[in-house]
Amino acid sequence: MPFARSLRALLACLLLTAPLAARAAPGDWVSQVKPLPAPADAQGFALELPPSARRATGAPAHEAWATDGRQRMIYNVTQPQLIAVAGEPAGACGKACPAVILVPGGAFEFLSIDNEGYQVAARLRGLGVRVFILKYRTLPLPDSLAGFQEAIASTFAGKPRPGGPINIYADLPDAIADAQTAVRTARAHAAEWGVDPARVGLLGFSAGAVATLGMTQANADGARPDFIGLIYGPTKTGPVPPNAPPLFAAIAADDRFFGKEDLGLIEAWRRTGASVEFHLYSAGGHGFASQPNGSTSDAWFDQFALWLRATKVIAGR
C-alpha cells in the first residue's frame, strides 16, 4: 500500500520532534520538566472526538500535563479533543470564517501545546480565522512524571522505545483518524461555530506535520482538508492525493530530523498542478514555530499569512 510505505519511510527518520532539546543537553532539559495541573477549560472549550478502535495497551495511563518552565506538554492522551481557541477572530470575516486546525508535534509521545499550539493560535486569530487545536492521541507512556521523564530522555538519546518501534498500523492511525475526525467535526458544526465548511485547513508541526500529511494522503471521504501547512515536517518523496489541496511547507536546511530529506514531495505536488509554496531557510533548526532565533526562519508565519491571502483563504492584501 503506497500510503503505508510512505509513512513507514517518514517515521524511520522521525527520532524526535520537540524544539526543547535545542536549548540544553537532553539530561539538563529533562531534569527541568515538572508536573502541571491541567487547565480547567483548556483556554476555550473542548469537543470530545469519538475514538476509533485501538489495540489494547494494558492499564490505561492518565492524561497529564507538564512544563519545563517555558512551555507546557501533554502526554498520555487517550481521549482526543478539538479545542476551540477562545475569542473572536480579528477583522470582519462574518458568520463563515476560514478555520485552521493546529496539529502540534512531540514525537507522538506528547504534544507541544504552547510552542505549536496556543502561541501560534494567538497570531492566527489576528488574521481573521477560527482557530482550533487538535489534541490527538499519543503513544502510551508510563503513568508517572518520572516515567515520562525517563521515556523522553531515552527518546532524546535515540534509545529504542520500551514498547518497540512505532508501528504505523497500530499507532499512527490514531493521530490520522483524529485529524480526519477534526475536519469532519469542524464542518459538521460550521454554522454553530461560524466556520466556512469550504475553508477548513490544517497546520501541522513536526510529528503533527507527519499526521497532517498522512491524513491528506489518505484522502478519506469528508475529511479532505481545503489547504494544509507542513512546518518543519517531511519533504521526502511520497504519494500526492488526487486533487491535492494547496500546500505550504517550510523547513530549515539545518533541521536535524528532516533537513537531509530529498524534496521529492514538493516536486511531486508541483507536478500535479496543485498549488504549492515551499520555503527552505538557510538556518533555524527544528521547532521554531513560536521561538525566534535570529534566522530567516523567523519569517515563516508572515509568509504563511501572505500565502493564505494569495490563495484567497483569507481576505485582504
Q: Of the segments 22-26, 86-90, 149-153, which one has the largest average pLDDT value?
A: 149-153
Q: Are 183 and 201 in contact (CB under 8 A)?
A: no
Predicted pLDDT of residue 4: 45
Q: How far is CA 75 from the centre of its chain?
A: 14
Strand pairing partners for 227?
A: 201
**pLDDT bucket at 269, cuts 50 / 70 / 90:** very high
Minimum mean pLDDT range among 102-111, 165-174, 220-229, 241-250: 165-174
**Higher-pLDDT residue of 78, 253:** 253
| pLDDT, mean of residues 156-173 | 61
Cα-based distances in Å from 252 to 180, 283, 296: 28, 5, 9
Lowest mean pLDDT of 10-14, 41-45, 97-101, 165-169, name the range. Answer: 10-14
Among residues 315, 20, 275, 3, which one has the least CA distance to residue 156?
A: 20
**Which residues, in sequence order, are bridge partners of residue 101?**
132, 202
DSSP state of 288: -
**Per-residue pLDDT for 28 more than 70?**
no
C-alpha span between 255 and 293 (Å, rounded): 13
Residue pLDDT, tens place only, 100-123: 999 999 989 999 999 999 999 999
CATH architecture entry for 2-310: 3-Layer(aba) Sandwich (3.40)
d(CA 203, CA 82): 14
Confidence class for position 38, pLDDT limits 50, 70, 90: confident
Higher pLDDT among residues 183 and 15, named by residue = 183
Q: Judge residue 36's burial from the number of C-beta atoms within 10 Å of its C-beta, 0-12 exposed, 13-18 middle, 19 or more buried.
A: middle
Q: Where are the domains of the chain?
A: 2-310
Return the minimum-mean-pLDDT range out of 46-50, 74-78, 191-195, 309-313: 46-50
Q: Would you state the cell numbers that stand for residue 253, as one nine-digit string? A: 536546511
- pLDDT-derived band of residue 173, with 50, 70 and 90 as boundaries? confident
Nearest to 97 by CA among 185, 182, 184, 193: 193
Asked whether the beta carbons of 300 and 229 are under 8 A apart, the reply is no
Give the Cα separation of 66 and 113 in Å (integer): 10
Asked whether the beta carbons of 282 and 13 are under 8 A apart, the reply is: no
Per the prediction, the chain carries an average pLDDT of 84
Distance in angstroms (rounded) separating the CA atoms of residues 80 and 138: 9
